[in-house]
Amino acid sequence: MNARFITFEGIDGAGKSTHVGWYVERLRQRGLPVLLTREPGGSALAESLRELLLHQPMSLDTELLLVFAARRDHLERTVRPALAAGQWVVCDRFTDSTYAYQGGGRGAPLERIAQLESWVHGDLQPQRTYLFDLAPDEAAQRRSAVRAADRFEAEDLAFFERVRRGYLDRVAQAPRRFMLIDGKQSIADIRKLLEEDIVSICSI
C-alpha cells in the first residue's frame, strides 16, 4: 500500500494528543509501518527551534520564518526519507497550523504563507488531515487542568477564535482532505469515527 502523509490539527486543548498515539497504534495493528512525528519539531534542529518558538518573544515575521525553517529541516531529515522508504507518516500539526496561528491568529498575510509553503514543500501535502474543533473557552479549560501555558497557549480567547476561524477557512478550501471532528464528543465516539476513517483510507 502506498505510503501516506496524515496530519492532526486543532487549537490547543481540542484533543489532538489524546488521539494521535492511539491512531498510530491502530495503523500499526494493521501491519502498516508508521512514523509518528510533530511540528514544530520532529528533527534535532527543528526540536531546538521549537523551544525558541514556544518560549522566546519574537516578531511575527521571525516566528513565521522559524516555523518554516523548522519545517524544512523536518521534511528533509525525517518526513521525506520515511515516505521514500514506504513508511506512513503521521504528523501532529503541519502547515495548516501556520495558516491558522500565524495567519488567522496573528494576522500574517495568507499570500506570504502560501509563498513560503510552496518554496518549502510545494508538491508535498497531506492526503488526510483530522481537524479537532472545539470552542476556545472549553479548550482553555481542558488544557489549564493539565499543563502550564507556553507562548501560544497564553494567548486570549479572541486569539483562539481567530485561529479556529483560520482552520475552518482551510477546510472550506480543501474539504476532501479534511475530516472535521467535533471535539465535544466523547473520546470513545471520536475513536469510532477515526477507526471508520482508517478503514476507508486503507481501502483506497
Q: Binding residues for ligand ADP, per CB under 6 A? A: 10, 12-18, 132, 142-143, 146, 183, 185-187, 190
Contact 115, 179 (CB under 8 A): no
Decide: is 42 part of the binding site for ligand TYD (CB under 6 A): no
Question: Which one, 5 or 152, has the nearer CB to ligand TYD?
Answer: 152
Among residues 17, 18, 125, 127, the one that binds ligand TYD under rule CB under 6 A: 17
Give the whole-angstrom CA distance, residue 64 versus residue 93. 15
The residue type found at 153 is: E
Which pairing describes strands 34-38 and 128-133: parallel, antiparallel, or unpaired?
A: unpaired
Decide: is 38 part of the binding site for ligand TYD (CB under 6 A): yes
| Distance linking the first and last C-alpha atoms of the chain | 9
Cell numbers at 85, concatenated: 522508504
* Cα angle for residues 120, 123, 124 (degrees, 5° grid): 75
Decide: is 133 part of the binding site for ligand TYD (CB under 6 A): no
* Least distance from ligand TYD to the Cβ atom of residue 152, Å: 3
Decide: is 43 part of the binding site for ligand TYD (CB under 6 A): no
Residues that bind ligand TYD (CB under 6 A): 12, 17, 38-40, 67, 92-93, 97-98, 101-102, 150, 152-153
